[in-house]
Structure 1
Amino acid sequence: MHSTTTRTQARVTRVVRDRIAPFVHRPVAEVGLQAWPVDGGQGEPVPAAHALGLRAAPGRETPDYRPFAVGHEWGPAWGTTWFRITGTVPAGLADGERAELVVDLGWEDHSVGFQCEGLVMTADGAVLKALNPRNRWVDLTAVAGPGESFELYLEAASNPLLLDVPPFRPVTGGEKETAGPAPAYRLRRAEICVLERELHELVLDLEVSAGVAAELSVDEPRHHRLLRAVDRALDEIDPEDLAASGARARTHLREVLARPAHATAHRATAVGHAHIDSAWLWPVRETARKVTRTVANTLSLMDEHDDFVYAMSSAQQFAWIEEHAPEVFARVVERVREGRFVPVGGMWVESDVTMPSGESLVRQILHGQRYMRERFGAYNRILWLPDSFGYSGALPQLARLGGFDSFLTQKISWNDTNDFPHHTFWWEGIDGTRLLTHFPPVDTYGAEVTPRELAHAVRNFRDKELSDHSLVPFGYGDGGGGPTREMLGRVERMADLEGVARVEQRRPDEFFADLHAETTSETPVWRGELALELHRATFTTQVAMKQGNRRSENLLREVEARAVRAMLAGAPYPYDELASLWQRVLLHQFHDILPGTSISWVHREARATYAAVEAEARALADAADAAVAAAEPAAVEPAAVEPATPTAEVRVDADARTVESADVSLRLDAGGAVVSWVDAATGREVVPAGARLGELRLLRDQPVLWDAWDVDRGARRTAQALDGPCEWEVVRSAGRAGLAVTRSFGRSVVRTSYALVPGRREVEVEVDVDWHESERLLTVGFPVDVAARTARFETQFGYVERAVHENTSWDWAQYETCAHRYVHVSEPGFGVAVVNDGSYGHEVAARDGGGVEVAASVVRAPHYPDPATDQGRHRKRWVLAVADDLGIVTETAARVNRVLAPVDSPVGLEVDEGVAVLDTVKAAEDRSGDVVVRLYEAAGGRARARLVPGPLLGADVSVRVVDLLEDDLGADLADDRSLVSGQGAVAVELRPFQVLTLRLSRTRAGDAPGAPRPH
């Protein structure tokens, strides 16, 4: 019986592919073609108005359309070619017949969104829809009636095929300049056709009937009845009379497709979606066009399918449509009002959420949610991040404070070691905040709504005893495309069909409302981070992304505090300039840019962006300082800092290879690693016996699949210490002194320096490498004689604690994990922090013989998607500090990562108990002149502190607690314990890892003390 099933399935595939699908579109007329390759096909995109001759774009060549023919080549890689298509709709169409323009730009029959694409519009610039390998048609009834002529324009992007699947075969070519001028595609088809509706519907009938049968047990009668109906339908097909025989074939399937689902069938909420990467195997400029193409297709489908609901995330992507295709954006706004086009996500982009700082995640939410409210009238409630590479334990608190009550992702299904135990659960963050979370058990954010996918979702769903429904996001994603009419046809057939989940198109907020309603005390809880057991190398790949992001997010916070001082002194606050800078940084926190997993074009532009952000931010800082100096000359003096101590207080003996201060003694071996580090205050030897601190290791780094994304565990077995001949030198600068060693290896050169600063129980380690290796990973080890059972890895507004052993498979899978500014290991009474200025990938493991080793990844050299990844010069710096107190650790991390010289803060924080950190001082986004202050508890305990307004702010200040959106806290978030007093110096109490945002208003005449200011 199994062989019968297999034979019928194979028969369906063959008949549909060879005898039905090619004839769904019946050619009825030719079209005229002309083409204009922009700048010879290699130019950057031009505005549509320019290509259509409606409005010239300055500095661009005049469009020159010349005759073109089907069969001719077009499109150098990354180029743009405009086609003018003219024709006449046949006058003799029968009633109900629909004329469609059918185009084949030269696609491979796979990889939607990963090859050439097109956008079709009328001569006056109205966008109709997009074209891709699964969406090759344009309805002509919208532009011309029978016997009428039409003129359409097709903007064709010749993006190269850089991800050839299936199977996975990485292809390089991520730079326009090196791609070459040769045409990448050949136009295969462009003609007017009639859509044979019966054949189109027959294909869907057969796919669903045979697909459901394939997922049912051979012991079920339903399985056999479906197969019998499918065979009878196939018997009916007559190639000599397809239209009539197709209609007859459908009659054999009508009864089996009308059988209703069982009362207990799983419920699937189908939501149209296209997860579009804001950059990946294409540059940012192409993403803006991809978004417009996908949304155009979505709007076209909505015109024909009344039940169709589509969800789209990322304020940045809405903003691109608003900027580049305002007519399309106006249609989006109208559909949002109807409730069918649903904004979700509420962040500026679908950001990486492991590496950005806490304040960066706040700004992702703040800028995203404000955009959504301003354009669409409401904040989003669903945090929608289907494809980010792991999820910080700080996120539930930030999400709730940012207006969200639900979270959706599916990426954890990619785990390479452990299967996550739930699909619907409460996610509890490091501070105790809970967020209702759903992982779609269909295990994809780009479903095609097939019986196989739905059957997988039902089998896979791990919370059947508590819930009977799940969400299915459907539509081509990554490179865009979105849902198709074929997907919607399958949804309609499986709305209530025996043998498969009951499918209903609904808004995602309706789905989550049901989920909230059915939660009970038995709903499972997962506490802490949602670590992805895959893509571990994203914490290291493309060093410049990590350092550029870290430096930018720190710099912008420092500039904001200076700008507040200037505002309080009477200068205007640079709201627009700072918003622009933040949004550029937020864009580059997208989960294929910051992690380093995009083509070279993306990272080249990102490096330039980071440089521009720094230059513009420094100019704002200088302007703010000048404004304060003009108003209050004394106020601009730098805050008191520890004066530079003469380096003579650090004794360096190059012959003995020792470096000593009153606080620290170092001894290096002949290979340039530290073999002794004595902490004078305790007399402790920090380096374990036989260990080498600062040892550089070169690993063979050849992941099984995803080059830029992964570092396989086996790479650790190939580690070779760099221990050959080296050159020594004494280094002295800015109050520090020490020794440096330089050595060559392979085609690279690396210099490691060790320096001490008097008065600090610290060792500064700097690695400066000129890197020219291939498929290698460079790491540095910091072994310390500390009996730690766990290690603290800083995350946003706190830390996560991870085991240093491998007792369980969950521990074993955490061999390369993310830390922000520090990793801290301690035993009672003694601890060591490894503080960095721009690194994220770390591993902490117990050592044989005692102590632990903190290993930091320095630089990689994967081939795909950027074969030049990290080639060149890089500098990384670590400060190793003896510190058991997390307050000292946090202060050290802030000092090491500061970009500008410190100045007096407009608001001070005096800590009475515990560890409280004043993180951010900025002006309120509503331009009211209020000051927003954000602080947090950093050590996982309780803290008491007093917020003290500085002289520029004055004592006559009212204070209230607000959320991340700078609105008053809702009743579900209010905590009266946080704010003890609301006038003058403000006493605050913080729970473990609590993030507290305060809004300070200078009281004006007529204001009641403490009264909210209008905003």
Structure 2
Amino acid sequence: MKTVEDQRWQLSNGSGEQLASAGSLSGEAYTPVVHMIGNGHLDPVWLWQWQEGYAETKATFRSALDRMNEFPEFVFTCAGAASYKWIEENDPSMFAEMKERIAEGRWVVVGGWWVQPDCNIPSGESFARHSLYGQRYFLQRFGLTAKVGYNVDSFGHHAMLPQILKLSGMDYYVFMRPEKNEKSLPMNLFWWESADGSRVMAYRIPEGYCTHQFETSEPKIDAVKKIAEEQRTDQMCFYGVGNHGGGPTIANLQEIRAAREKAGQEAIVLSSPNAYFERMKVYGSSLPVVADELQHHASGCYSTHSETKASNRKAEHRLLTAEKLSAAAHRLLELPYDAAPFRMAWECVMFNQFHDIMGGCSIKEAYADARESYGYALHIGAVSMNAAMQKISWSIDTMRPGISSLDKNKDRTLWEQADQGIPVVVFNPLSWEVTAPVAVTQQMKGITDEAGIPVDIQLVRSSKTNGGDKYDTLFVGKIPAMGYRVYWIFRHKSFEVAVPDTTALVSEPVHSDSLRVTSSSIENDWVRLEVELHTGYIKSLFDKRSGIEMIDGRGAVPIVIDEHDCDTWGHGKLEFRNEIGRFTDAQVQLIESGPVRATLRVTSRYGQSLLRQDYTLYQDSADVSVRVKLDWHEKHKMLKLSFPVRVDEPKATYEIPYGHLERPVNGEEEPGQQWVDVTGIVHGSVSDANSSDHRTYGLSLLNDSKYSFDVKGNDLRMTIVRGAIFADHYGQRDDMCEYMDQGVQEFAYTLVPHAGSWQEAGIVRKAYELNVPLIHIVETYHKGSLPQSYCGIHLSSQQVVATAFKRAEDGDGYILRCYETSGHETETTLDIPMLNRTWTAQFGRCEIKTFKIPDQTELPIVETNLLEW
């Protein structure tokens, strides 16, 4: 190992300068160095649309190239593959000039992602795709990849990022927010560690990431130099006009020259993040370790512009589903797999994850653009998914005895002949067997599985009103992991459904005639839900398995928060608890009651707004499913749903990208993804309040499109909507201001009461099941090579989830990405029947693993990184 004195650093600025060694944190001979980082921060969308950002990118890059001609010592730093691609497409000659400067080392590529995204809302797989497409773009165009993660303007940074960065070829990370008044850090330079133990060297930018117009450089340089002396490490000082582009100005560089003459050439250097971190490597183990997330800034951003956030969640899951089905159809039936449309769709999703778009703080017109872009991505996903499903379903052997040809002579919509039923192929994109509802858009008399065993059915109201044809047929299917199963629907033939023996002890709910309803309650053998008639709040959520009441007081309470003093971002706001009212004046209606499910509809009001919640209980599940329709017309107000959980010593755990995190129950607004859980201690039961029995119990809240929550004590709240002004940074408000999220939105959430921990309750899987529903195709009779039930994957450990299955980027083989969900080490056997491959892998806690499975079965399966290298 080299000593500190042996370490030398060569500044690659063309000047041939060589700095003295960096010294050490405690060394007496330390000479601080200020690294001047020339950049032009580009928000491609914010107070302008992407077309303006496109034009500004060209001008900023042209200006940076001009500065290089004028100042031989100038080094430029720039992130975001999307910006580079714009230049490549629109000005090939300038792109060629950029390539020369990159090869020379004076134009430094950082941030190997598509854009600088919001770093809390995108899914774990979205971050993987930023790395995959961003880094591969840089390698293909410039022969290099970014070594430094770079998100100087993002509002917060989730705790799994160190692992994602390391798996993306980036050992370092630069950020600015949270700033020093928002989060205390031991120093600007530190090791940042995620739950799996991965570390990157991270740096918090002091004194801002850009130069404001007409601002002189000397005061900022002096301030950063003082920090370097206090912290006894080199510091980076960022300069250049930013946000709307611009980059380093002639005046900036002239002032830096003057400052270097005054302070000494080695005290102030024109540098890059790459060069800075290379020099800082000598500190090694001397740096402090931060094993935490980097929050809080702009806490209101995780609940603004509901449509964009819902589209993001929907697009992420649809593209992953389309890739899985397309890969399966390619393998099983040689359907061509075209990666180019998927890449284009992901580019749309990644671009819309830019922090000012995803954070809901851009202008109104920007969200019309985002809607178009998401629509494009969703359409590509839908077309690819349909092609794969149709290819598979058409290749299943569904022929019935006595049928020789297709003939639609008895039904205008179905091909059923001789009361033999018609096949419905139900697909499950998830990596475990899923039991979930399926609604066929037909009125049927009976349904069986592929073996002829009848299942319960129920007519439910359809979205159509076509004479008497206004009902769908609902049943609950059980579909193999990443596979499919055929069910048979019968127009005129009914069946007697056998009731299995329920006297044996079981750990999972089984069928029984358990659904019972009143005008204000629904229950099955597992739980009982009661609604308070005049308010519409949940009066009781009683777990019959444990004799425990889960709600402390009233639940699902729609609380209206005053936020007149808040800007769009929520700057300076850590809590939103200024309650000014509640939805009430409720109407409660039993709208469904049958053998499969029962539903209570609760409609309540506040001001000009209306909230409709449909509470559904299925016969064989303890989970309460809720569909919500909100018609919102409030301004400068926030709506939260409150769920006080009847536990002591509560702990709150939130899903974060490819992981989870326990946070304090202090009421602070926090970003989360598909689920939040509150678990604590229950003493005895309702029927035996004096019992000394202490049990762990909890309530999980799953959602399909929300990202903002808070927990104070035992009160879990999900933020539903904000009536904020578009892009209002405490501006001059008037009657012309336009407000977000006015009108109708729909979403879903699920309440899951559970004994024991959230891990034991399988909450991660349940959240995926809410977000990735079963999909189906109504088929007809035909011969085929495929069976009527097929399992595509088997994972021996319930802790491991497979999120991505697709063709490899190099076109040779398949990629399977998995992650450990519970925070505990495990060994897993992975079996993919369609590839005829089985292997075993060790997963550390919260570890992400990517496997490359070659087409040639004689070649070994290789564990690779997110870039598929």
1:371 paired residue number:
137
Q: Are residue 577 (structure 1) and residue 348 (structure 2) matched?
A: no
Amino acid at match of 1:536: S
Q: Are residue 420 (structure 1) and residue 168 (structure 2) matched?
A: no
- Superposed, 1:137-148 pairs within 5 Å as none
Once the 2 structures are TM-superposed, how far is the Cα of residue 493 of structure 1 from its aligned partner? 1.1
1:125 paired residue number:
none
Distance in 2, matches of 1:421 and 1:1011, equals 39
- Superposed, 1:340-355 pairs within 5 Å as 340-355=106-121
Amino acid at match of 2:845: P
Once the 2 structures are TM-superposed, how far is the Cα of residue 457 of structure 1 from its aligned partner? 1.6
Distance in 2, matches of 1:901 and 1:472, equals 53
1:729 paired residue number:
589
- Superposed, 1:600-749 pairs within 5 Å as 600-631=364-395, 633=397, 638=427, 641-642=434-435, 644=437, 649-654=514-519, 657-669=520-532, 670-688=534-552, 691-704=553-566, 706-710=567-571, 712=573, 715-723=576-584, 725-732=585-592, 735-749=596-610
**In the alignment, is the contact (CA less than 8 A) between 1:697 and 1:721 conserved in 2?**
yes
Q: Are residue 917 (structure 1) and residue 706 (structure 2) matched?
A: no
**In the alignment, is the contact (CA less than 8 A) between 1:699 and 1:719 conserved in 2?**
yes
Amino acid at match of 1:658: S
Single out whichever of 733-742 and 914-923 deviates more from structure 2.
733-742
Residue 852 of structure 2 aligns to a residue in which SS?
strand
Structure 2 alignment gaps of length 5 or more: 1-27, 399-423, 438-455, 459-512, 681-694, 729-737, 778-788
Distance in 2, matches of 1:714 and 1:393, equals 21
- Superposed, 1:88-127 pairs within 5 Å as none
Name the one with the larger helix percent.
Answer: 1
Deviations 1:19-58 (A, max 9, x none): xxxxxxxxxxxxxxxxxxxxxxxxxxxxxxxxxxxxxxxx
1:857 paired residue number:
719
Distance in 1, matches of 2:378 and 2:292, equals 34
Percent identity, aligned pairs only? 26
**In the alignment, is the contact (CA less than 8 A) between 1:826 and 1:832 conserved in 2?**
yes
Q: Are residue 489 (structure 1) and residue 254 (structure 2) matched?
A: yes
- The 3 A distance-change label for structure 1 pair 989 and 727 is same
Amino acid at match of 1:679: D
Once the 2 structures are TM-superposed, how far is the Cα of residue 1009 of structure 1 from its aligned partner? 5.2
Match for residue 457 of structure 1 among 206, 211, 224? 224
**In the alignment, is the contact (CA less than 8 A) between 2:563 and 2:578 conserved in 1?**
no
1:926 paired residue number:
810
Distance in 2, matches of 1:377 and 1:900, equals 42
1:478 paired residue number:
243
- The 3 A distance-change label for structure 1 pair 1008 and 822 is closer
Match for residue 999 of structure 1 among 834, 852, 855? 852
Deviations 1:570-624 (A, max 9, x none): 1111201100001100000000111111000111121232233222211111111
* Rg larger for: 1
Once the 2 structures are TM-superposed, how far is the Cα of residue 339 of structure 1 from its aligned partner? 1.0
Once the 2 structures are TM-superposed, how far is the Cα of residue 726 of structure 1 from its aligned partner? 2.3
Once the 2 structures are TM-superposed, how far is the Cα of residue 414 of structure 1 from its aligned partner? 6.2
- The 3 A distance-change label for structure 1 pair 628 and 462 is farther
2:697 paired residue number:
830
Residue 853 of structure 2 aligns to a residue in which SS?
strand
Distance in 1, matches of 2:391 and 2:200, equals 44
Amino acid at match of 1:759: D
1:941 paired residue number:
824
Match for residue 508 of structure 1 among 246, 260, 273? 273
Deviations 1:791-827 (A, max 9, x none): 110011110110114xxxxxxxx61001111111223
Amino acid at match of 2:196: D
Distance in 1, matches of 2:593 and 2:84, equals 49
Distance in 1, matches of 2:632 and 2:599, equals 24
Amino acid at match of 1:835: L
Deviations 1:462-507 (A, max 9, x none): 9624x2x111221011111111010000111112424999211123
Amino acid at match of 2:427: P
Q: Are residue 304 (structure 1) and residue 70 (structure 2) matched?
A: yes
**In the alignment, is the contact (CA less than 8 A) between 1:561 and 1:906 conserved in 2?**
no
Q: Are residue 908 (structure 1) and residue 782 (structure 2) matched?
A: no
Note the aligned Cα RMSD (angstroms).
2.6
Distance in 2, matches of 1:658 and 1:343, equals 60
2:621 paired residue number:
760
Deviations 1:382-429 (A, max 9, x none): 00110111001110001001000111111221644x443320000011
- Superposed, 1:2-401 pairs within 5 Å as 266-401=32-167
Residue 662 of structure 1 aligns to a residue in which SS?
coil
- The 3 A distance-change label for structure 1 pair 659 and 737 is same
- The 3 A distance-change label for structure 1 pair 368 and 772 is same
Amino acid at match of 1:832: L
Q: Which runs of 4+ in 1 moved over 6 A?
A: 902-906, 1011-1015
Deviations 1:918-976 (A, max 9, x none): 11111111112x110011111111122211012x32x2xxxxxxxxxxxxxxxxxxxxx
Distance in 2, matches of 1:715 and 1:803, equals 16
Distance in 1, matches of 2:700 and 2:175, equals 33
1:258 paired residue number:
none
Residue 495 of structure 1 aligns to a residue in which SS?
helix
- The 3 A distance-change label for structure 1 pair 823 and 1008 is closer
Amino acid at match of 2:753: V
Match for residue 791 of structure 1 among 630, 652, 657? 652
Match for residue 432 of structure 1 among 184, 197, 202? 197
**In the alignment, is the contact (CA less than 8 A) between 2:45 and 2:366 conserved in 1?**
yes
- The 3 A distance-change label for structure 1 pair 444 and 1008 is closer
Residue 944 of structure 1 aligns to a residue in which SS?
strand
Match for residue 548 of structure 1 among 311, 317, 322? 311
Distance in 2, matches of 1:920 and 1:478, equals 34
Larger relative CO (CA 8 A, sep 6+): 1 or 2?
A: 2
**In the alignment, is the contact (CA less than 8 A) between 1:528 and 1:800 conserved in 2?**
no
Number of residues of Structure 1 aligned to a counterpart in Structure 2: 696
Q: Are residue 539 (structure 1) and residue 302 (structure 2) matched?
A: yes
Amino acid at match of 2:670: T
Amino acid at match of 1:891: R
Distance in 2, matches of 1:589 and 1:714, equals 24
Once the 2 structures are TM-superposed, how far is the Cα of residue 772 of structure 1 from its aligned partner? 1.3
- The 3 A distance-change label for structure 1 pair 1011 and 481 is closer
Amino acid at match of 1:829: T
Distance in 1, matches of 2:119 and 2:574, equals 23
Deviations 1:137-173 (A, max 9, x none): xxxxxxxxxxxxxxxxxxxxxxxxxxxxxxxxxxxxx
Q: Are residue 816 (structure 1) and residue 816 (structure 2) matched?
A: no
Distance in 2, matches of 1:873 and 1:1011, equals 48
Distance in 1, matches of 2:576 and 2:758, equals 35
- The 3 A distance-change label for structure 1 pair 727 and 328 is same
**In the alignment, is the contact (CA less than 8 A) between 2:150 and 2:173 conserved in 1?**
yes
Distance in 1, matches of 2:706 and 2:104, equals 46
Distance in 2, matches of 1:906 and 1:590, equals 37
TM-score normalized with structure 2 length: 0.76
Distance in 2, matches of 1:576 and 1:906, equals 28
Residue 986 of structure 1 aligns to a residue in which SS?
strand
TM-score normalized with structure 1 length: 0.66
1:989 paired residue number:
842
